[in-house]
Amino acid sequence: CGHRSESSAASGPPLVNDGSVGHPFICSRPCLYHASGKCNNAAACDFCHLQHPKRPGHLDKKHREALRDMPPTKAKALMFPIVREKVLALDPSPASVQLLDRLASAFGVTTTVQS
């Protein structure tokens, strides 16, 4: 696999680097050096060189342990609304809604929003 240039002739768009393949959903995490214009790996860089939204929060050790120790039915009920929101943000089609409803039924969770 040869190196690809990130800059191209005026005839076409710039090529992305290896780490940007599948952007934005399955690419590597963003390249910190590219953002500052200092990535020496250029097209061979394993990190994404395309624009990303703010990085989502992650569970700390205490919360990961609590989730791990939680009964599976409670963990599914806790996580399902988050998964549902993300799926519907990507694809709000009736097919996605139907799939989510089937998943909720299999998990034994309700699909209504609770206040």
Task: Assign 68 a pLDDT band (cuts: 50, 70, 90).
Answer: very high
- Tens digit of pLDDT for each residue in 9-58? 344 445 578 888 888 778 878 888 887 888 998 888 998 888 887 766 78
At residue 72, φ and ψ (nearest 5 deg) are -55, -40
| 92: three-class secondary structure by DSSP | coil
Task: Assign 59 a pLDDT band (cuts: 50, 70, 90).
Answer: confident
| Percent of all residues in the chain with a pLDDT value above 90, rounded to a whole number | 32
Mean pLDDT of 87-92: 91
Task: Assign 80 a pLDDT band (cuts: 50, 70, 90).
Answer: very high
